[in-house]
Amino acid sequence: MSSNEEAFTTPEAGQLADAVDALFEASLTAVPESGIAALLREIETSTRRLAALGHRLLVEVCERSIPQRVGAGSPVRYLEETLLLSHADAVARVKAAKQLGTWHDVGGQALDAVLAHTAKAQAAGEISADHARVIAKITDRIPNGVSREDREAAEQILVELARSATPDDLPKAGERIIAHLDPDGTLTDDTDRARMRGVVLGRQRADGMSPIKGEITPMLRALLDPVLAKLARPGMCNPDDPQSPWTADDSVTREQVEEAAARDNRSVAQRNHDALQAFLRPEMGPDNLGSHRGLPVSAIFTMSVAELDQAAGVVTTASGGTVSIPEALKLAEKALPVLALFDHQGMPLHLGRGKRLANAAQRLALIAAERGCTRPGCNAPATLAAVHHITEWAEGGTTDIENLTLACDHCHALVSDGPGGWRTVKLGGDSDFPGRTGWIAPTHINPTGIPRVNLRHHSKELITQARSRIRAREERDALRHRRWLATRAHAPVAAAF
């Protein structure tokens, strides 16, 4: 390689370096808070786009066989040597370029990226390299038998979620999408899960402690979640606090729990431990759990008539998990869980344990319709959400279902008319999501002021929508192709110019 080649770079790369220099030299002290946020956002967008640019360069590196020519052998080794990257970093970048880069066939024709939606969003700076990595990891797990259309729909949904969520939020959404893509469990069914189940109590150590590990079935999870939602709440069952409520019956007031929560310094793991300990005491047990946010503490399953008709697929639990329909029905026969069945309009048809639920019908309807906190990006399942007024009671809001929504305590506290506050609205018929609750973010998060919905708890609905979008696009393309063919057939010479 000549020294000439070594020094060659493009003028654009020089301009990029100049722009970064200018940013370093600029004084930030006079920039207002909103300006700092805007600058952070702009730099983040550029960083994301630069990562996508990296894929382009890596495609060149590989298609020109540069690693082989310079003796590095593989692109990973080439990156390690040229950029002094760690092995893990180099592997991750090559893998990302394979899935997100635009490669060419032997004739030089550009091929669509393997994850085309992800690649497009990253190149536009809408999602980060981290988002893309998590999306690739999830799509890798989609069973082979899933159709190309559904696979693309799943990717599209994940990209859509990634635009308003952190990479940490994606795996859970991915689990649910895969559960819906593989509803009959062709890959993993209840028998497989039953085989995998197990809880191992390790040998008690000299310090008195015992390790515990294992894997639990969706059903045990569905039964355990409500117990933890009630007894592992901050303030409950705290052995360090003599005033902490240990009984779960409804004589414990909200104020008592809140006061105890303010004194509670335990970790989530410690609270889970103490909740199990409390639950296993002879005077407790499942019959004495009382209610949690107005509904009995037991597994709450919601499913629609269509889902029940198919008797396949999964039902959603109020704690955000999924259980296969045959398993849920088996448990429902013993009337232990609350089984809420909804018609196509989302109206309750059957409420197990009817009389205890009389005044909780609205909450159940909200659980079925909204499934969790409605603020965009929030993962809190229905068990961690309370019913809130969209137009506050004090401002004339009614307690009709149209004016109610689920929000977790954290998100509800973000709602205010002040400059940093979120606002909620019921979306009208002209929206993509009529009847759903839209949240308007404060300007430092979303300067457009356009209300957004939480897509997190609705993977099935999203898949249907994405499928119809893909179908519409394919029909459009086919129509365009047919028209193009027609013009060529009628005027072959004119069409060529």
Q: How many residues bind Zn ion (CB under 5 A)?
A: 6
**At closest approach, how far in Å is the CB of 409 from Zn ion?**
8
- In 3D, which of 363, 225, 236, 233 has the Cα closest to residue 299? 225
238 vs 437, which CB is nearer to Zn ion? 437
189 vs 409, which CB is nearer to Zn ion? 409
58 vs 378, which CB is nearer to Zn ion? 378
Burial of 274 (0-12, 13-18, 19+ CB in 10 A): buried
Q: Coil, strand or helix: which one is 248? A: coil
**At closest approach, how far in Å is the CB of 301 from Zn ion?**
22
Name the pairing type of β-strands 300-304 and 338-342: parallel
- In 3D, which of 79, 159, 168 has the Cα closest to residue 126? 159
Q: Is 411 a binder of Zn ion (CB under 5 A)?
A: yes
Q: Is 380 a binder of Zn ion (CB under 5 A)?
A: yes
Burial of 145 (0-12, 13-18, 19+ CB in 10 A): exposed
308 vs 387, which CB is nearer to Zn ion? 387
- In 3D, which of 423, 467, 483, 441 has the Cα closest to residue 37? 441
Return the residue matching tokens 């899960």. 193
**At closest approach, how far in Å is the CB of 223 from Zn ion?**
24
173 vs 411, which CB is nearer to Zn ion? 411
**How many H-runs (helices) and E-runs (strands) does the chain carry?**
20, 13
Q: Is 375 a binder of Zn ion (CB under 5 A)?
A: yes
- Which one of 6-14, 405-413, 422-430, 431-439 is the stretch in contact with Zn ion (CB under 5 A)? 405-413
DSSP assignments along 76-97, one per residue? HHHHHHHH---HHHHHHHHHHH
142 vs 373, which CB is nearer to Zn ion? 373
409 vs 475, which CB is nearer to Zn ion? 409
133 vs 457, which CB is nearer to Zn ion? 457
Q: Is 458 a binder of Zn ion (CB under 5 A)?
A: no
**At closest approach, how far in Å is the CB of 25 from Zn ion?**
41
**At closest approach, how far in Å is the CB of 457 from Zn ion?**
11
Encoded tokens for 338: 């609350």
**At closest approach, how far in Å is the CB of 384 from Zn ion?**
8
Residues 219-258: x where in contact with Zn ion by CB under 5 A, - otherwise, as a string: ----------------------------------------
3-state secondary structure 193-206: HHHHCEEEECCCCC
Residues 84-103: x where in contact with Zn ion by CB under 5 A, - otherwise, as a string: --------------------
Contacts of 191 (CB under 8 A, 6+ apart): none
Burial of 418 (0-12, 13-18, 19+ CB in 10 A): exposed
- In 3D, which of 470, 495, 471, 497 has the Cα closest to residue 483? 495
- Which one of 133-141, 159-167, 189-197, 407-415 is the stretch in contact with Zn ion (CB under 5 A)? 407-415
The answer to whether residues 286 and 222 touch, using CB atoms and an 8 Å cutoff, is no
The answer to whether residues 439 and 460 touch, using CB atoms and an 8 Å cutoff, is no
60 vs 392, which CB is nearer to Zn ion? 392
Contacts of 52 (CB under 8 A, 6+ apart): 100, 119, 122, 123
- Which one of 46-54, 183-191, 334-342, 365-373 is the stretch in contact with Zn ion (CB under 5 A)? 365-373
Q: Is 408 a binder of Zn ion (CB under 5 A)?
A: yes
Give Cα 171 distance to the centre of its chain: 6
**At closest approach, how far in Å is the CB of 422 from Zn ion?**
10
Q: Is 365 a binder of Zn ion (CB under 5 A)?
A: no
Backbone Cα Rg of the chain: 27
- Which one of 171-179, 271-279, 372-380, 438-446 is the stretch in contact with Zn ion (CB under 5 A)? 372-380
Q: How far is CA 270 from CA 238, 258, 266, 274, 435, in A?
A: 9, 18, 6, 6, 40
- Which one of 6-14, 36-44, 285-293, 373-381 is the stretch in contact with Zn ion (CB under 5 A)? 373-381
131 vs 388, which CB is nearer to Zn ion? 388
Q: How far is CA 259 from CA 69, 213, 263, 266, 268, in A?
A: 69, 33, 7, 15, 18
181 vs 406, which CB is nearer to Zn ion? 406
289 vs 380, which CB is nearer to Zn ion? 380
Encoded tokens for 191: 């028998």
- Which one of 176-184, 229-237, 313-321, 403-411 is the stretch in contact with Zn ion (CB under 5 A)? 403-411
Which residues in the 101-140 window bind Zn ion by CB under 5 A? none
- Which one of 50-58, 259-267, 409-417, 485-493 is the stretch in contact with Zn ion (CB under 5 A)? 409-417
- Which one of 131-139, 363-371, 391-399, 411-419 is the stretch in contact with Zn ion (CB under 5 A)? 411-419
Q: Is 378 a binder of Zn ion (CB under 5 A)?
A: yes
Q: Interface with Zn ion by CB under 5 A: which residues? A: 373, 375, 378, 380, 408, 411
